[in-house]
Structure 1
Amino acid sequence: MAAKGLLKLGNALLLTNSAYIEHSANVFRPLLCYQQTRGKRRMKPRAKNEPCPWLVKKRAPAHFNFVTEENRAFLDEAARDHYKNLPSPLRDEPWQRNEWTINTRRTGVLGVKIGVIPQWKKDGTRFLCQLIQIVDNHVIRYSSPEEFQKSVGFLPGYSKDIGAVVVGALSDSPWNYSKAYHNLFTEAGVPPKRKLTRFFVTPDAAIQPGTPLSAMHFKVGDYVDCSAKTINHGFQGVMKRFGFAGGPSTHGNTKFHRRPGSLSTGKQRGMFKGTKMPGIMGGDWRITKGIKIWRINTKYNILYTSTGVPGPNHCYVRIYDTANFNRKEEMVKNCRRVSMPTFYPDDVEEELPEDIFHEDLFQMNDNTITFKDDDES
């Protein structure tokens, strides 16, 4: 009897649970991001190995590794001929070019950090410059504000009066990527790129797909914003993560040298929100605003900028016009105009110099000391 009673009770619990699940499925529960929660501790979500369902598969299967060298050379030659004869949108009628205003948002470029080099001003001040190389940038796609609102990457907080431009950097062999990834570049008529990113642009700065972007997209003296992923240090303690001094190393302090110390008071229940604790250090997107361009090398497409660009060396950096309104007003006062929507070599009649310097920057071929004859004095 007792067993039958437990069996009935289990069936009743099973029915109630199934009814609760059916009822909860019909209730609308909005999904909240960990950054949108209020009043709760913000915790980073665990990294998922599975990509989003709307992402295009990038890597191709490894069938090309079993091709002989002769066939590989033939396929490479056929690929070059294919991309030479590929219809490019630049052969059509060029798009209308508008004038730059203080509210204009142009596209940006993708660069690679390659190191730091010292520079000198004319007054003798020595400072460091960050070198960023713009490697083989092309515009892949432009989406108008109407098209951008219907795309998957559009969020409710975005402005409805702004479009998007996809920029790719560093062309690569077409055999390394899948057919679905190749279809992203058919509109631009360029080979597949290793890296893709998106920039918000206003309709007056719309740019045609297939347009190349170089370091001359900016001018010497402009201010830009740089964003990249910081150096990933993994899980670290409070001494390295926040610069804590650690515990004393005197007699009687065992295993307390790198501890954070007291975490809360006796009257408090639990810890304060935002207490500095051990955790993941680095690996997050950071933006440095108002970085000045001191020098441009047109031969190798290198920007000499102020230091402070996030990320390690050889990482990809997003570079675009600064969003600082004071810097934009400074450009307007100095009658500085940017190239709209980007720099075109046909607009310049003379050949560009190899290096373009800022007016306050000292050039190594300038004279530093002048001598006068005694008769002149």
Structure 2
Amino acid sequence: MPLSAINQFCYPTPSLVKTKTPASLKCSFLSKSPPFPLTKTTPLTLNRNQKFSLSIVAMSMEAGVGVMGTKLGMMTYFEPNGKVVPVTVVGFREGNIVTQIKTDATDGYDAVQVGYRRVRDKKLTKPEMGHLEKAGVIPMRHLQEFRLQGLDGFEIGQKLLFEELFKEGDLVDVSGTTIGKGFQGGIKRHNFKRGPMSHGSKSHRALGSIGAGTTPGRVYKGKKMPGRMGGTKTKIRKLKIVKIDNDLRVVMIKGALPGKPGNLLRIAPAKIVGKNIPKS
């Protein structure tokens, strides 16, 4: 069945980017009526004499266009009522510029490619430089795509500003690479309980049984065992934007975010069932 919808920062010069963002691109996923169609109807053929209609939800698509940022660290934020909120501070280097617009006619799906973090020319390969020069934008280290339902209002070279896409109180999904912990045991990696530490015990921090004997005579795939921990891509969903500081060019997001300071983060509108994702 085909599925077709499946610490110093630089500031860009006005001549390199277009800073105007249309109002249609603002994050409106918490409104009562979604700004884009949520489902697609595709005929599902089960046999020659009977046909059904299958409603497909494109779960791989974003609820809206997002931006990339750099993790700066964590701090404590005091709300006006005195409530203490742990937040992660995210800064923005030069970038968040639209470098390519992919359409269903040319690439098989609709997406917006965004570049982030300016670098020197010699840091990129010739194919990467050719791709960015064709778009007429500055050299950037990171390129990521945001798959969308519609591409109205986007143009190559357009600058995406966080304060125009989001506002305080919005919920976002943040993706990043977690801190690598190296090779770890079952207790730290999978939160296993340890054995008795008293004299005579021969199983202090060992796993215990990892399977039966002659039948099946092997260890099942997926068994939780010691191994490499961390260093993987993770998404933390439905985090609240606590504060947006335009003067310092930072945003404070409630809770902890993946990675250590200096890590690349991808921030997109949160997918909320019943709001921008229909209930199954």
Q: Give the TM-score, by structure 2 length.
A: 0.72
Establish whether residue 218 from structure 1 lines up as the match of residue 150 from structure 2.
no
Task: Name the structure 2 match of 1:253.
Answer: 201
Task: Name the structure 1 match of 2:100.
Answer: 141
Task: Name the structure 1 match of 2:262.
Answer: 314
Asked whether the 8 Å contact 2:73–2:260 carries over to 1, the reply is: no
Unaligned segments of structure 1, at least 5 residues: 1-82, 150-159, 330-377
Asked whether the 8 Å contact 1:110–1:319 carries over to 2, the reply is: yes
Asked whether the 8 Å contact 1:119–1:126 carries over to 2, the reply is: yes
Q: Cα gap change, 1:96/1:276 in structure 2, threshold over 3 Å: closer, same or farther? A: closer
Whole-angstrom CA distance in 2 between matches of 1:253 and 1:95: 66
- Displacement, 1:219? 0.9
Asked whether the 8 Å contact 1:89–1:209 carries over to 2, the reply is: no
Greater Rg over alpha carbons, structure: 1
Q: Secondary structure at the match of 2:127?
A: helix
| 2:117 aligns with one of 170, 189, 197 | 170
Whole-angstrom CA distance in 2 between matches of 1:111 and 1:120: 23
Establish whether residue 127 from structure 1 lines up as the match of residue 85 from structure 2.
yes
| 2:131 aligns with one of 184, 192, 195 | 184
1:83-94 map, 5 Å: none
| 2:149 aligns with one of 179, 202, 211 | 202
Whole-angstrom CA distance in 1 between matches of 2:251 and 2:129: 30
- Displacement, 1:258? 2.1
Percent identity reads 27
Asked whether the 8 Å contact 2:17–2:137 carries over to 1, the reply is: no
Q: Secondary structure at the match of 1:283?
A: coil
Root mean square deviation of aligned Cα: 3.1
User: Which structure shows the bigger proportion of residues in strand conformation?
Assistant: 2
- Displacement, 1:89? 8.5
CA deviations over 1:152-187 (Å, ceiling 9, x no partner): xxxxxxxx5xx1111111111223333322111124
1:225-374 map, 5 Å: 225-254=173-202, 256-265=203-212, 269=216, 270-326=218-274, 328=276
Q: Cα gap change, 1:257/1:95 in structure 2, threshold over 3 Å: closer, same or farther? A: closer
Q: Cα gap change, 1:95/1:279 in structure 2, threshold over 3 Å: closer, same or farther? A: closer
Asked whether the 8 Å contact 1:141–1:187 carries over to 2, the reply is: no
| Deviates most, 183-192 or 127-136 | 183-192
Q: Secondary structure at the match of 1:325?
A: coil
Task: Name the structure 1 match of 2:41.
Answer: none
Q: Secondary structure at the match of 2:143?
A: strand
Whole-angstrom CA distance in 2 between matches of 1:292 and 1:89: 29
Whole-angstrom CA distance in 2 between matches of 1:220 and 1:320: 14
Asked whether the 8 Å contact 1:106–1:205 carries over to 2, the reply is: no
Whole-angstrom CA distance in 2 between matches of 1:122 and 1:97: 30
* Count of paired positions: 231
Whole-angstrom CA distance in 1 between matches of 2:159 and 2:22: 17
Asked whether the 8 Å contact 1:98–1:204 carries over to 2, the reply is: no
Unaligned segments of structure 2, at least 5 residues: 1-11, 37-62
Q: Cα gap change, 1:301/1:198 in structure 2, threshold over 3 Å: closer, same or farther? A: same
Q: Secondary structure at the match of 1:213?
A: coil
- Displacement, 1:231? 1.5
- Displacement, 1:205? 4.2
Task: Name the structure 1 match of 2:65.
Answer: 107
Aligned residue type for 1:318: R
Greater relative CO (CA pairs within 8 A, separation 6+) = 2
Q: Cα gap change, 1:95/1:194 in structure 2, threshold over 3 Å: closer, same or farther? A: closer
